Structure 1
Amino acid sequence: MRNNNLAVSIEEALKIILNSISPLTCENISIMEACNRVLYEDIVSDIIIPPADDSAMDGYAVIAEDTLGASINHPIKLQITGEIQSGGSVNGKKVSRGTAIRIMTGAPMPEGADAVIKFEDAAEEDGYVNIFQETVKYKNYRFAGENIKKGDKVLRKGDRLSSVDVGILASLNYNTVKVYKQPIVSIISTGDELADIGEEIRTGQIRNVNAYTIYSEVKKYNAIPYCLGIAKDTLKDMKEIFLKALKSDVVISTGGASMGRYDFVKDIYLALDVEIQFEKVNVKPGKPVIFGKKDNQLFFGLPGNPVSTLTSFIQFVRPALLRLMGANRILKPIVNAFLEEDINKKSGRVNLLRGYATIKDNEFYVSTTGNQNSSVLTSMRDANCLIIIPENTKVKAGEKVRIQLIEHEEI
């Protein structure tokens, strides 16, 4: 049996979380609302795109061999025998030696033509076109099925749909699509020291920053957040607000997860029959992270310091939300980078330092964003990565370190 009092590694914590999750069921939605949602089923094409050979340019459908030797000084003259518009039909039009047909982008290629000369490389005169540049066979020519073939699996279950994917669905005549449901997320702030926006701050109080940061992060990953307010530092008040969250898929609380006299989150979990999976992670910032589960509901007790809260969300809550929504790709990229300053950390924990990475000569270089105190949220604003420093490690400028690219999409 696991001893939940022992600090687990980041990797072990993530494994425990992901192994605890069963993705949600599906719903059918309009493709107009599908961007960033996670696809519930493979999309297999039952058509070919384009449906026929067509032109990739506005210009003239020609026989490539007719253009050999064409130049500005020695244009080749071809007779124009017709025009085919985009969305039009060939209507029996053919290209034979010495002729050309005016054609628009996307229009079907006429019989006999095997290339398209762009308008810019030609000029019309009295029913003829002067070709100023020779071409080769199949230049500016698109083949039927070149984009998508019948039977192609064009999108896969678990894909997070991009705007391009939505366009592909439209090209396949999908008006609606099956996606995983969005998890409902309850957000609870804890602590007598918190004052909400608009409230007067008393001595010793701070603004309830975490609720707004976490709300925004939850929305960014397309889950549905609800802020339930601030729970005061009493078991009664905290239990009341947690009971309101029991119908949601995920409960995120901030603060009250450490070992202080008024840190009641663990007690609330036990009172609500939440099975605690772990309550400490060997990482700085963010050691006091409690994760629990009740049936299919997930509970995350995050630290109270703003940077600790956000870092813990990135490492643990974000991948959990994506897995709930059936996403296949949930991990942020980790790459090597040259350190641009000395770092000496002896905390006995893995350090995740806020960093700013740049690329020089096809290599990543990274430096910290300044003050690494876990209350300095501005250091997170300036960061595009987290610098991963193993426990009790001293790293000098010029050495390579691993960095997690937090502003990049999942892999």
Structure 2
Amino acid sequence: MLSSQNASELILSQQIELKKSTVPFAQALGCVLGEDIRADRDFPPFDRVTMDGYALASKNYAKGQRAFKVESIQFAGEPLNTLLDKTACVEVMTGCMLPENADTVIRYEDSIRQANEVTFLDNLALQKNIHRRGSDRKKGDILLKAGQQLRAPDLAILATVGKTKVQVYTFPKVAFITSGDELVPVEQKPLAHQIRKSNVFAVSALLKPFIEEISHFHLPDDLPETIRQLTDILQQFDVLILSGGVSAGKKDYIPEALDRIGVDRLFHKIAQRPGKPMWFGKKENQLIFALPGNPVSAFMCAVRYVKPWFMQNAGLEIEKQEAILAENVEFKPDLSYFMQVTLKQENGQFWAYPCEGHGSGDLANLSRAQAFLELPQTTESLFEKGNVFPLWKW
């Protein structure tokens, strides 16, 4: 069995080739850029006035002149105005172009106006209140880099440079496949020996920010039919996430079926609890995650292994957090232990409090907990309060 760390490293080392598509920029929120976005002109594109007031040639103020005639007025959105008389000034509004021959703007608050003449206070700072052309970015500068996920402010950048359509990487097409004759649809009333499907909804919600959509399939406990359906699904999707059928039961057909259709097994079983039977493989440019069927096991594997891969695939930094163990914990098996915990934050640090349920089938307990604390595989059985361990939040 692989350690949890080795399993994670192996999964993250696997990449699939992403395709590109062109979409309207307003629909690109959350997409991963497939091209660099460059400034099509200087930012700002002109010397921009940043305060309502008066624009003038500062040398005259520096020589002692305080009273200036108001020669004209300049509004935002108007073509460039010119200060014709350098002993005069131009009334200007925030966002307008700085008039030619002017090099400073004095605020209304620092002036007294009477009719068509304005007098400025003494000892004012000069050559201020101007956002100089190109001071933010120069024409041709990269504003957004290929591989980054587009956030709300990035759409404004695309609009500013006139990028009406943008190249983005398409999220992988994902199939979530449940298996087991004991599972029935949510809307169906289960018989005494049946349960409703639930894993697909928890895992789909966890991965929603990093995928376009998830299609759901269900496999019966029948090897030939499992092989037939998996063969068909592999032809349609980039990533397959399976739940159930990977342990050692007589009807756990998933590993054999995947082997029969040519999927290369990269590992089967991780030295951990819960989630020990997890299976992972690859076929050409497709990845297959086969999770255990028990709800807590499936969800833990999705949080610890599947979500980080999708984050990396989307060009995002994988969240690495830690927490301080708030109580002594004993765990004897030589396995990594992903313990359900609740969290309290003190002085910028998380304290993790054990919040265990009744085993890997107790999905209701996941609503009480907030994260998994990863206690490392070791021959020691006591994990002492105050030690720091990796934290996997959902």
1:11 has 2:11 as partner: no
8 Å Cα contact 2:74-2:90 kept in structure 1: no
Q: Which amino acid aligns with 1:403?
A: L
Of the candidates 205, 209, 221, which is equivalent to residue 233 of structure 1?
Answer: 221
Where does residue 243 of structure 2 map in the other structure?
Answer: 254
1:33 has 2:27 as partner: yes
Where does residue 108 of structure 1 map in the other structure?
Answer: 97
8 Å Cα contact 1:37-1:222 kept in structure 2: no
RMSD: 3.1
Q: Which runs of no fewer than 5 residues in structure 2 stay unpaired?
A: none
**Post-superposition CA distance 1:48-107 (Å, at most 9, x none):** 111111123444445678999xxxxxxx87654332222222221368457452312x21
**Post-superposition CA distance 1:13-71 (Å, at most 9, x none):** 23323333232121111111211111122223342111111123444445678999xxx
8 Å Cα contact 1:340-1:365 kept in structure 2: no
8 Å Cα contact 1:190-1:232 kept in structure 2: yes
Please show how residues 178-257 of structure 1 align to structure 2 within 5 Å. Answer: 178-228=167-217, 230-247=218-235, 248-257=237-246
Please show how residues 125-164 of structure 1 align to structure 2 within 5 Å. Answer: 126-128=115-117, 135-164=124-153
Distance 2:345 2:104 in 1: 42
Distance 1:339 1:62 in 2: 65
Q: Which amino acid aligns with 1:38?
A: V
Matched residue of 1:397: which SS?
Answer: coil
Of the candidates 309, 320, 324, which is equivalent to residue 333 of structure 1?
Answer: 320
What's the TM-score once normalised by structure 1's chain length?
0.82
* TM-superposed deviation, 1:188: 0.9
8 Å Cα contact 2:56-2:102 kept in structure 1: yes
1:55 has 2:49 as partner: yes
The 3 A distance-change label for structure 1 pair 110 and 185 is same
Q: Which amino acid aligns with 2:222?
A: T
Matched residue of 1:48: which SS?
Answer: coil
Where does residue 279 of structure 1 map in the other structure?
Answer: 268
Matched residue of 2:167: which SS?
Answer: strand
Where does residue 277 of structure 2 map in the other structure?
Answer: 288
Q: Which amino acid aligns with 2:388?
A: K
* TM-superposed deviation, 1:279: 0.8
1:400 has 2:388 as partner: yes
The 3 A distance-change label for structure 1 pair 298 and 402 is closer
The 3 A distance-change label for structure 1 pair 128 and 184 is same
The 3 A distance-change label for structure 1 pair 122 and 302 is farther
Where does residue 17 of structure 2 map in the other structure?
Answer: 23
Q: Which amino acid aligns with 1:400?
A: V
1:83 has 2:73 as partner: yes
The 3 A distance-change label for structure 1 pair 233 and 110 is same
Q: Which amino acid aligns with 2:272?
A: V
Distance 1:313 1:25 in 2: 24
* TM-superposed deviation, 1:145: 1.4
Distance 2:297 2:181 in 1: 19
**Post-superposition CA distance 1:318-343 (Å, at most 9, x none):** 3433555xx44342223x43333333
8 Å Cα contact 1:67-1:135 kept in structure 2: no
Please show how residues 237-386 of structure 1 align to structure 2 within 5 Å. Answer: 237-247=225-235, 248-324=237-313, 327-334=314-321, 336-361=322-347, 363-368=348-353, 370-372=355-357, 373-377=359-363, 379-381=365-367, 385-386=371-372
8 Å Cα contact 1:307-1:380 kept in structure 2: yes
Where does residue 44 of structure 1 map in the other structure?
Answer: 38
**Post-superposition CA distance 1:149-180 (Å, at most 9, x none):** 12322222211111222221221211111111
Distance 1:136 1:382 in 2: 60
* TM-superposed deviation, 1:384: 5.3
Please show how residues 110-125 of structure 1 align to structure 2 within 5 Å. Answer: 110-118=99-107
Q: Which runs of no fewer than 5 residues in structure 1 stay unpaired?
A: 1-6, 69-75
Distance 1:46 1:332 in 2: 34
* TM-superposed deviation, 1:146: 2.0
Distance 1:122 1:360 in 2: 51
The 3 A distance-change label for structure 1 pair 215 and 398 is closer
The 3 A distance-change label for structure 1 pair 316 and 338 is closer
Distance 1:374 1:67 in 2: 78
What's the TM-score once normalised by structure 2's chain length?
0.85
Matched residue of 1:367: which SS?
Answer: strand
